[in-house]
Structure 1
Amino acid sequence: MINSVSEQIKELVTKEEWIEAFPVMKQLRTHLDKDLFIKIVQEAKELHDYRLIGLYSNNEIIALSGFMPMTTLYNGKFIWVCDLVTESQKQSMGYGRKLLSYIENWATQHDYGIVSLSSGLLRENAHRFYEDKMSYRKVSYVFLKELK
């Protein structure tokens, strides 16, 4: 039997594509509703060159990643991975690896020498994935203070 699964990764640039992506992103960013998601993606794209990429399998989005090119004194020129999520029923099937590899290739092609990300403290499976399968190193803690 021939495997007829068709996969592709592409940047999502239209509001319609973002709406199509929202159900998968909602699994990671549970605090967002669709309208706020669209508003934030649009603003991040305009202000920070945020890029949202989708991994399609048989014309259906099953994994997403958002990333931004940045420059800081600490890292120099680097890529910050803001979001990485795979549809819950499709996890551990290599889709996260494909998206991160795509981002790493994009970074190399655009002269960025580092890819960096943060991961929630309790997401131990994600930490193992980043360290063991993708060769990322744990180099710092991220601190957050909400201002009201």
Structure 2
Amino acid sequence: MTDTAILRHAETDADVLACFDVMQQLRPHLQSPGDFLARVSTQRTQGYCLLAVWEGGKPVALAGYRRVDNLIHGRFIYVDDLVTDEAGRGRGHGERLLAELGTLGRAENRERMVLDTGLANALAQRFYFRCGLLARGLHFSMDLS
């Protein structure tokens, strides 16, 4: 990780659009920067925030998250998206984003941080274990379309 990397939320439409290329590496179904901006705008009404590691004014790693309250976890941070640009992986950006979300959650008296990952994504699972996240359940879903 370089000293020039800063953490900053993508708050403006221009900031969000600048994040498209990195997010598309995690979410290849995103059709265009405009599609991404529209989805983020909708998700913002549900509390979605996009935290980025910026280097030279360009986002190189992203964490999309929400502050959530429910009966199973209480008050928690849910990490929707976590991705580092392929060229910058292995430089500590993911750990830095998760650490910042943990700091934010503790400051807001959140009880935990929660995220989902694919069962076949062994590299991500190993990364999450190294960062102190534990597998505590199995996520089920059903396609409705």
TM-score (structure 2 length as normaliser): 0.94
What aligned pairs does 1:23-102 form with structure 2 within 5 A after superposition?
Answer: 23-33=21-31, 34-46=33-45, 48-102=46-100
Tell me what 1:121 maps to.
119
The list of structure 1 runs, each at least 4 consecutive aligned residues, that deviate by more than 2 angstroms after superposition, is none
Aligned-residue sequence identity (percent) comes to 26
Does residue 133 of structure 2 align to residue 136 of structure 1?
A: yes
Q: How big is the alpha-carbon RMSD for the aligned residues of Structure 1 and Structure 2?
A: 1.4
Residue 92 of structure 1: how far off its partner (Å)? 1.5
Larger CA deviation: 93-102 vs 56-65: 56-65
Q: CA deviation at 1:24?
A: 0.2
Q: TM-score by structure 1 length?
A: 0.93
Write the distance in 2 (CA, Å) between the matches of 1:93 and 1:100.
14
Structure 1 unaligned runs (5+)? none
Residue identity in the other structure for 2:108: H
Give the aligned residue type for 1:67: Y
Q: How many residues align?
A: 144
Give the Cα–Cα distance (whole angstroms) in 2 for the partners of residues 19 and 59 of structure 1. Answer: 13
Q: How far apart are 1:58 and its partner, in Å?
A: 2.5
User: 1-side partners of 2:99 and 2:143: how far apart?
Assistant: 33
Alpha-carbon distance between aligned partners in 2 of 1:146 and 1:9, rounded to the nearest angstrom: 36
Cα 1:124/1:4, change in 2 over 3 Å: closer
